[in-house]
Structure 1
Amino acid sequence: MSGALLVAGTHSDAGKSVVTAGICRWLVRQGVSVAPFKAQNMSLNSMVTADGAEIGRAQVMQAAAARIEPTAEMNPVLLKPGGERSSQVVLLGRAVGELSAARYHGKQAVLLDTVLDCLATLRARHDVVVCEGAGSPAEINLRHSDIVNLGLATAAGLPVVVVGDIDRGGVFASLYGTLALLSPTDQRHIAGFLINRFRGDVGLLEPGLDMLRGLTGRPVYGVLPMLQGLGIDEEDGLGLASRTGAPTAPPHGEEVLRVAVVAWPLLSNFTDIDALVAEPGVTVRFTDRPEDLADADLVVLPGTRGTVRALDWLRERSFDTALAARAAAGRPILGVCGGYQALARTIDDPVESRRGRVPGLGLLPTRVRFAPDKTLGRPEGTGYGHPVRAYEIHHGVVTVDDDPDTTAFLDGCRTGATWGTTWHGALENDAFRRAFLSDVAAVAGRRFVPAPDTCFAALREAQLDRLGDLIERHADTDALWRLIENGPPDDLPFIPPGAP
């Protein structure tokens, strides 16, 4: 077969990413060569491909669902917010500049050719390409420059399925209203709907499904039940609440290990925490209150797109005082990428904040200078005697000063009970993670022993299988096959605004 499908949503976090991944996993189980695609992604969660391109982590997750290696073509445009009104534009895996929202939307139309070329490349390589939209296709104020929703669908002749989140309420109004706001040309591509995150008896929902079909002339292709505890890669911070460890006793030690993650501005690559959440006996909470650090065995400063801005935020809330007291008492702190940079003595930033030289937290004997070119890589090394594979994405270049109390830690350093590294994903390496947590527990005085058989890669694979099961068991897969092969149906009625 050969074909494509676009998964849109009534709003952000409706479930587009997981539905796209689920369709990819369902198709690859059928022996179909499939690839994911998202023309334009706005996210601070990104990763580096094997050939050194930066793309959104959601597309990396979807490529894993499709059992293929991710490439730059799967996410040709990545926007990384740097503030309320501007974003770094990453084009085909390389940062090309910082633009305001207004300036970017003025340039979107010229990017459509690049987007279509990438889609054509993927379609030539694979039997099926499953595309993911962004936000809502009914953002009528942006339709003239759209390259990711119906702008893409109309240019490439794609059928569109709209996902609605029933858990938020108002799903029928959202699905109907999304369709009714579209032009006749755009409506011709909306083939039907999927209802996501349903709890309860589907039989009670069926009259509403019948009414929606009668009003729109379009079917609901499935009602997908709520899946708890997915913890898979997301585009933004909307899924932070689900990234917490259950407070259960560890199977080997006597105590749990408590981790507090600082939820500071422009939080990026918070997927680094997922391996800690997956570890039995580890509890994780994200916090914006310094008092929550008091009872934590480990405090993590994660990545951030704005290190200097994050430092301002820490100081405004007295986190700097709490962290300094913690370091002085020899209580564990881990900084990753932007978090590692924040631990430095000084930061010279003419790139992100353009503030020049500012003081860091001074908890590690390091200095940071932001370079105009971004470092992208997939480094390998050892930690605690175990192999570590990771990835790095940063402008900040860290120099470690000579200090007799400082030792190497991955590419970074350790002083006392404070660790820092630029490497993302290091904790996904099972043996290294267990050794690190054992060291943290010993320093913290906790009787915690990591489980010896936890395999993060296997857990993630099982989650992707859950998504494939979700589509296979609860969606009309025969109808999805027909859409993928044949494109939008020819007999879809136009629904004028304000109907019926």
Structure 2
Amino acid sequence: MTRGLLVAGTTSDAGKSLVTAGICRWLAREGVRVAPFKAQNMSNNSMVCPDGAEIGRAQWVQALACGVTPEAAMNPVLLKPGSDRRSHVVLLGQPWGELQAGEWATGRRALADAAFEAYRDLASRHDVVIAEGAGSPAEINLRSGDYVNLGLARAVGLPVVVVGDIDRGGVLAAFYGTLGILDPEDQACIKAWIVNKFRGDLGLLEPGLRMLEERTGGRPVLGVVPYLRDVWLDSEDALAISGWSRADAVSSAEPREPLRVAVIRLPRVSNATDVDALAIEPGVQVEVTTDPAVVAAADLTVLPGSRATQSDLAWLRSRGLDRAVVERARAGRPVLGICGGYQMLAEQVHDPYAVESPAAATVPGLGLLPTRVTFAREKRLGTPTGQWHGHRVTAYLIHHGVSERTDAPASERYAQTVPFLDGWQRGSVWGTTWHGAFENDGFRRGFLQVVAERTRPAWRPEPGASAFAEQRTAMLDRLADAVADHLDTRALKELIGL
């Protein structure tokens, strides 16, 4: 008998990733050898495992929750959208090719076979595998090619629990409708419900839960998870800083003016989780924006990664954000580019093999760093380490673009260019391809101090602030506590097969 569970959701962002992480952490604390799994992830937020494989950030954090080493089998298929109709495919941690929207019917068979084999491999090495679905299992228009929701459940014999977000409203109808629209064979896989993000009087909800159970053939509600304000998980969505961007993250023993960070919301942003660690730092206020005025007024402006650098650069220009970035740099106000954002700061961006663009093209960059970017066919993956001003930095890199120094023009107006991690700093402009650098506490606080010296000299990092890794661990434990305290864990174990 397969020992495992598929956590599906009534919608995207219903809380599947959080519930999966919580169950994983709870089982690990119970002494169970557990592993996370997501057959297919569509996200530009990814991570490099110790063996060099690229997987979704959510599965990487879920592996941490399990206390196991992240690996390619935990997210065998990763789709990285480059446009609304074109996705780069990562298969078992390595580049596989691209699929257009019209190619899904023929392209999915090979991906499905690889995903099922990866699940079976994980199951052979662990007591339990907790799988996370994608979107909703009720997307019957996609059912024939599905291998991440009910297609997976039926292929490997997994029971399915469906999570619903009550904070959005209509959760009972969403549960009932999810079951009702499915074919009988798929309905048989649905075993239970979990209500997520609840706040209010549980007594008012209880009668509805009992009626839901009656009207769905006795399928039980395993529990009601409360709205956890200070719990987050590396997002699959375009750019969501989650709870860390809340106002009370800017705290101190004495009230003070926060250091303001503006993160430009690029249409094809990737690895937006780079700014999570900035957003949790006490005394720092992060705003995700497309407003040139906010970009101009911030103490630090961040251009994050992009899965479509040339396209997002054109979008930047169409919104007047390019002028805001260039003008603040010329005024000596700090600008940081990370990966795709770093590439935008170059003098020229060249894509000869149409790696990220629909056709081969060369476009001018913002000209803030003396570099020229050329996209190579091969993707560079790695987990580099280095130092900056005496601070040790560990990071990861995922990119096709290769930056090379160019000769500075004779009319150079900026300060001398110096190395910065694997990139460059010129005056108030920094650029690097390293993701995750701000998760290093010493580097993060040292860099913010340098920024503050240029814009807000009185600002200082708050002494005694918690380490980023400690806060992530505490979050995972809070999720496990929520599972233990608010779900019927006896029924959950029986469902899993323990």
- What is the TM-score with the length of structure 1 in the denominator? 0.94
Match of 1:489 in 2: none
What does residue 437 of structure 1 align with?
A: 448
Query: Hey, what's the Cα distance between the residues in 1 that align with 2:44 and 2:36?
Result: 19
| Equivalent AA in structure 1 for residue 149 of structure 2 | N
RMSD in angstroms over aligned alpha carbons?
A: 1.6
CA distance in 2, matches of 1:242, 1:456: 14
| Aligned match of 2:426 | 415
Which consecutive residues of structure 1, in runs of 5 or more, have no partner in the other structure?
A: 487-500
C-alpha offsets along residues 302-344 of structure 1, whole Å, 9 cap, x if unaligned? Answer: 0110111111111111111111110111100000000000000
- 8 Å Cα contact 1:253/1:448 also seen in 2: no
Note closer, same or farther for the CA distance 1:7–1:249 as it changes in structure 2 (3 Å cut): closer
1:19 alignment counterpart: 19
Give the equivalent residue in structure 2 for 1:133: 133
Gap runs ≥5 in structure 2: 409-414
- The structural deviation recorded for 1:268 is 1.0
The answer to whether the Cα contact below 8 Å between 1:13 and 1:238 also exists between their aligned partners in 2 is no
The aligned counterpart of 2:394 is 389
Identify if the C-alpha distance between structure 1 residues 23 and 140 changes in structure 2 by more than 3 Å, giving closer, same or farther: same
1:298 aligns with 2:310: no
Secondary structure class of the residue paired with 1:79: strand
Residue 114 of structure 1 deviates from its aligned partner by 1.4
Q: How do 1:127-166 and structure 2 match up within 5 A? A: 127-166=127-166
Of the three residues 276, 279, 282, the one matched with 2:278 is 276
Counterpart in the other structure of 2:320: 318
8 A Cα contact 2:385 2:395, kept in partner: yes
Contact 1:409 1:419 in 2 (8 A): yes
1:152-195 CA-to-partner distances (Å, cap 9, x unmatched) read 00010100000111111111111011011111111111101001
**2:339–2:433 CA contact under 8 A, matched in 1:** yes
Contact 1:252 1:451 in 2 (8 A): no
Pick closer, same or farther for the CA change 1:253–1:382 going to 2, 3 Å. farther
User: Is residue 5–residue 129 contact of structure 2 (8 Å, CA) maintained in 1?
Assistant: yes
Does residue 1:475 correspond to 2:490, yes or no? no
Q: Which residue, out of 375, 380, 383, partners 1:378?
A: 383
Higher relative contact order (CA 8 A, sep 6+): 1
C-alpha distance in 2 between matches for 1:440 and 1:478: 52
* CA apart distance, 1:245: 4.8
Q: Which residue of 2 aligns with 1:214?
A: 214
User: Which residue in the other structure is 2:366 paired with?
Assistant: 361
Is 2:228 the counterpart of 1:227? yes
Check whether the contact 2:176–2:212 (CA below 8 A) recurs between aligned residues. Answer: yes
Change (3 A) 1:64 1:239: same
Specify the code of the residue in structure 2 equivalent to 1:231: W
1:244 counterpart residue number: 245
Structure 2: how far apart are the matches of 1:204 and 1:53? 47
Cα shift at 1:106? 2.4
Aligned pair 1:41/2:30, yes or no? no
Letter in 2 for 1:172: L
Residues 250 and 256, structure 1, Cα contact 8 Å, conserved in 2: no
Using the size of structure 2 for normalisation, the TM-score is: 0.95
1:360-419: CA deviation from partner (whole Å, max 9, x where unpaired): 000111110000111111001101111100000011001123557100000000000100
Instruction: Look up the SS of the partner of 2:174 in the other structure.
Output: helix
1:177 aligned residue: 177
CA distance in 2, matches of 1:191, 1:445: 56
Q: Is the 8 A contact 1:344 1:360 kept in 2?
A: yes
Would you say the 8 A contact 1:260–1:296 is kept in 2? yes
SS in 2 for 1:239: coil
- Segment of structure 1 superposing worse, 66-75 or 103-112: 103-112
Distance 2:376 2:49 in 1: 21
Whether the aligned pair in 2 keeps the contact of 1:249 and 1:255 (CA below 8 Å) is no
1:139 maps to a residue whose letter is E
